[in-house]
Amino acid sequence: MGKAIGIDLGTTNSCAAIVENGKPRLITYKGGTTTIPSMFAISEKGERLVGHDAKRQAQLNPQNTVAAAKRLIGRNFHSKTIEKIRQVFTYELVEGESNEVLVKVKDQVFTLEQISAAILRKIKDVAEESLGAEVDQAVITVPAYFNDRQRQAVRTAGRLANLKVLRVLNEPTAAALAYGLGKNLNQRIAVYDLGGGTFDISIIDIKGRIFEVIATGGDTFLGGVDFDDRVMQWVLEQFYKEHAIDLSFDRVAVQRVRDASEAAKIELSGATVTRIHIPFIAKNEANAPLDIDIEFTREKLEQLTQDLVDRTIQNTERILRESGSAKTQIDEVLLVGGQSRMPLVQRRVTDFMGKPPCKGVHPDEAVGIGAAIMSHSLAGTTSDDVTLLDVLPMPIGINKVDGTMHVLFPKNQPLPDYKTRTLTTSKDNQRSIMLRIYQGESQLCAENEMLGTFVFSGIRSAPKGKVQIEVTFHIDSEGILNLTARDKATGQTVESTLKLGKGGGAEPVSAAPAKSEPVERAPPPLPFTMPTSTLAQQIGGPAPVNGGGTPAVPRHDPERTTPGQLPGVRPVDAKPTDAAAPDLKVAGPYAKAGTPPAGAAQPGLWGKVSGWFKGLFGG
């Protein structure tokens, strides 16, 4: 049996940690670094690069370098979030057969699970080199606000990386473990987690060895990369004003400006002024080279990003209300994630909460350390258990005839849990029933994420309303949904098939995996949707000197919004919250239902699709 580690799979950087001799520590790689850039690329020579190797060549090869894949994983290609992302990423996104997001790199098409698996495989390899032992188990962290599909996609990525995923753990919960385990605390804490690509806020009670999440929320499209984009947009505008050259058409220039913007933002956490200097960024009409050389102040950075910080405070205020907590009831505030180092963030959190943040955890290390604590507990033989009680980040429900969502599991529902519903036929001799599952906070199904469509087939022939199918919805401690169904009269298990895709119209998932080679989708859509230069439109002036076609980046739209010896950790069993519930009548049969072999519990909704992909990186 190999070693078990904890992995903080981040949007911009990832790290791993391990518990040795009862104490957790980050795993150090060659050169003394503890993080790996969450990047994948294929070089001009066709070589696949991951981590630091991918980042080093990103400026010269931006179209074939995939960064921030965490923002895409488990999402529907037609979602509003993907529409935004397609306008700012320099690589090409392609729609999959089930409306999933695929990435095209060097004429090869990859799933997001494969991209994430490549990063996890790299982490696994360097961890084995550092530890001198095999690593085959891991706890992988995810944002607390990840939905079912995103969580299952991360599990799939772990399996493709040849890791046994012991648990998918929420990042704020991991940080709370790193902070409180072994201290015999009796506190209510707020974990404010602003990372590279996501924001989470969780209210957690710590009572000795019990860690209970009271409420959680966040924004999976708010993080450090959005701060970088604001700075980048400003730099591009300043260059355009001075030279009437729109660099947004040049992917290489955009990547160079983005990297310089990120570096300047980081430097201004400790300084009040810096310079953004990028030599030979373009040429003028006389063919003379032009540089970017701009003074950039902390005051300007805060002006550009004030609304982003305000969004985190608004989320925090909402979650405090949902938890039923006053600010005065919060004993400590933990700041987690690299972007939380920003002085503006720390000032705003201090002003809002009425107290300075706790210094008890390292913002960059806490999540990885917490994941290592969990992995050690789940893989080890410790007997002094710790209980984790988590909650569901977003409601899960089914569609009603009027297009609204019938909520099965409300937001902040303690996990695990299960509920039963009885479905009845609406036509004589109806042989199948279709049930769409949604997750999100809107009352309208169309505004929520459709997790998938379950088709219950092989129903016995009978007059309408005479067949009753009892469906059990079980949501586990990770927030992943499973379904079973049986005929109430006969007790027989009803065959069920998960369908993925827009409207549930895709073919049933096959038990046999698809070919491991990437499949070309033709013709792929253009990755950028802006028809003309937004800089020229917004600022005014002549047409751009260089470039043509569509810009590589659109203009910003302001309206868019270390513990000692460690005890073990144990899960808790599910208890039903409503054993008796009203029957539901589902209108109409579903004629094209597939009939796979009947089984017990279906794997998580998004998880069944993982059999399609054996992965280009093993697994």
In a domain, 545, yes or no: no
Going by C-beta distance under 8 Å and a sequence separation of 6 or more, which residues neighbour residue 234?
A: 300, 304
pLDDT value for 495? 77
Chain centroid to Cα 554, Å, comes to: 23
Find the CATH number of the domain harbouring 478: 2.60.34.10
The whole-number pLDDT of residue 577 equals 55
Between the alpha carbon of residue 613 and those of residues 96, 293, 307, 507, 527, the distances in Å are: 12, 47, 40, 16, 24
Q: What per-residue confidence (pLDDT) applies to 87?
A: 67
Q: What does the DSSP 8-state code read for residue 221?
A: T
pLDDT of residue 314: 97
| Contact indicator for 109, 94 with CB cutoff of 8 Å | yes
Question: Under 8 Å CB-to-CB from 372, ≥6 apart: which residues?
Answer: 5, 6, 16, 17, 18, 19, 24, 25, 139
Residues β-bridged to residue 234: none
- The catalytically annotated residue of 55, 70, 104, 499 is 70
CA–CA dist 225, 365 (Å, integer)? 19
Instruction: Evaluate whether residue 27 is within a structural domain.
Output: no
Could you read off the pLDDT of 11-52 as tens digits, one per residue? 999 999 999 988 999 999 877 899 999 999 999 999 999 999
Chain-centre distance for alpha carbon 180: 25
Pairwise CA distance, residues 219 & 217, whole Å: 7
- Residue 593 covered by a domain: yes
C-alpha to C-alpha distance for 241 and 258, rounded to whole angstroms: 18
Catalytic site includes residue 70: yes
The predicted pLDDT at position 359 comes to 85
pLDDT along the chain (619 residues), means of 10: 94 95 90 92 95 94 94 86 73 89 94 97 96 96 94 96 96 96 93 96 95 95 94 96 92 93 97 97 92 97 98 98 97 97 98 94 94 90 74 94 94 94 91 92 92 89 93 92 90 77 34 33 30 36 43 46 39 48 38 34 43 37
Tell me if 444 is assigned to some domain. Answer: yes
Give yes or no for a contact between 171 and 8, defined as CB atoms under 8 angstroms apart. yes
- Number of domain units in the chain: 1
In this prediction, residue 576 carries a pLDDT of: 54
Beta-carbon count within 10 A of 331 CB? 15
Q: Of 100, 113, 148, 171, which is the active-site residue?
A: 171
pLDDT at position 205, please?
98
Per-residue confidence (pLDDT) for residue 10, from 0 to 100: 95
Residue 368: which of 26, 4, 36, 116 has the closest Cα? 26
By C-alpha distance, which of 258, 266, 336, 232 is closest to 65?
258
Domain range for 453: 396-516+573-612
Which residues fall within 8 angstroms of residue 37, CB to CB, at 6 or more apart? 12, 13, 14, 51, 52, 54, 55, 67
> Which residue type, as a one-letter code, is found at position 111?
T
How far CA 315 is from CA of 25, 199, 444, 502, in Å, comes to 32, 9, 21, 30
Cβ atoms of 277 and 291 closer than 8 Å: yes
CA distances from 21 to 27, 71, 177, 565 (A): 14, 36, 18, 8
Q: How many CA atoms lie within 13 A of 400 on its CB side?
A: 11
Q: What is the pLDDT of residue 613?
A: 35
Rounded distance, CA 138 to CA 124, Å? 9
User: What b/e string do you get for 139-171 counting C-beta neighbours within 10 Å, with b at 16 or more?
Assistant: bbbbbbbbbbbbbbbbbbbbbbbbbebbbbbbb
Identify whether 561 is part of a domain: no
**Residue 27, C-beta contacts closer than 8 angstroms, at least 6 positions apart:** 5, 15, 16, 17, 18, 34, 126, 127, 130, 131
